Amino acid sequence: MGFAILWVMLFHLPVPTDISLLDFIKSIGYGGVDIFLFLSGFGLYFSMSRKNFKLAKYYKSRFFRIVPEFWLVLGIVFLTQMDFSVKSLSLLICRASTLGYWIGHQDEMWFISCILLLYAIFPIYFRLFKKYGTKASLSFIGAGLSLILIYALVCIYCYNKKNFGGFIILTYARLPIFFIGAFFGHWAKDGCNIILNKKRKILGLAIALASLLALTFFMHFLPSSLQSCSLAYLPYITITPVLCAVLAKLFENWKVIDKIFTIVGLMSLELYLCHVCIYKLFFVFLDYLDKDSSNILIMLISFFAAYALYLVNKKYLTKKTNIRIRP
């Protein structure tokens, strides 16, 4: 979670760093979202597999972990804009309810709409998986892949590569990795006998590397087609599980780094909410600041704001709902 949110924040920085390797990593930083969703599916499977699991408590905990902070940040942004017109108020209601995202409004906080929907439907998937096993999981993953490919083909052949899906494609494109994460959760939780021998490790790394090379090739030669047709997200279906495994191994061996990323991961939601708003506001000041100053300030202000939001949530929300803040 900590690595994922830092990667997303790097991706959002408005100006390049002029360090070629870092700028390449920055350009593919949207992959941090895939890590979030992979780990969310993984964790939800564990959560719903508990013997004392209660559906009402599940929905309550997800609601109070996300929505109050989301509403608070939306309210602050709305007040700072000082626009109290009917149009602005209706847009605020659409965003706060997350309905605006699903009816075509562009929303920088689209991830909240996405994750709330996935949290809402996951119990249905879990029951189907318990009843039908792998067939249910493959059906959900296949449906997600089909949506991506159908959308891409329609864009390419019918609409001259124009992205008619808007921000909604950002959710459709991530459906497979979310349910793949849940499937990996099943493997881990239910003690499936999977031996990762040397050949399988090499094969996994080779597939992930090939996907990364394909992504790099298309980003260099066909960047507009890749983004507008949703195909930019497909390589992460194979990259994400391998990357998560590599990071887990790295953090096992480097305890200091593990502690740092754990702290960042605990505030991942707060960092996302604050950073999305702050980096947008900084576009106004780009003409007055050099690029290094703007990038550093965006990151620093995002961390200070996220920490303040984290403390507010911990002090005033969790005491009343008995919900622990988790990554």
Domain range summary for the chain, segments of one domain joined by +: 2-321
Instruction: Report if pTM > 0.75.
Output: yes
Report the pLDDT averaged over residues 274-293: 73
Q: Which residue type occupies 115?
A: I
CA distances, 236 to each of 33, 59, 71, 181, 302 (Å): 10, 29, 30, 12, 26
Mean pLDDT of 52-59: 90
Q: For all residues of the chain together, what is the average pLDDT?
A: 83
AA identity, residue 319:
K
Q: What confidence tier does 82 reach under pLDDT thresholds 50, 70, 90?
A: confident
Is the model's pLDDT at 119 over the cut of 70?
A: yes
Q: How far is CA 128 from CA 117, 188, 273, in A?
A: 17, 19, 33
Q: Which residue has the tokens 């408590």?
A: 57
Q: Is the pLDDT of residue 71 over 90?
A: yes
In angstroms, rounded to a whole number, what is the distance separating the alpha carbons of residues 3 and 32?
A: 8
> What pLDDT does 327 receive?
39
Task: Give the rounded distance of the alpha carbon of 247 from its chain centre.
Answer: 17
Distance CA 264, CA 301 (A): 14
Are the C-beta atoms of 162 and 24 separated by less than 8 Å? no
| DSSP labels, 235-293 | THHHHHHHHHHHHHHHHHH-HHHHHHHHHHHHTHHHHHHHHHHHHHHGGGGTTTS-HHH
Place of tokens 């939601």: 269
- pLDDT at position 45, please? 92
Judge whether 219 and 24 are in contact, CB under 8 Å. no
Q: What percent of the chain has pLDDT over 90?
A: 28
So what's the pLDDT on residue 326?
47
Encoding tokens for residue 128? 């189907």
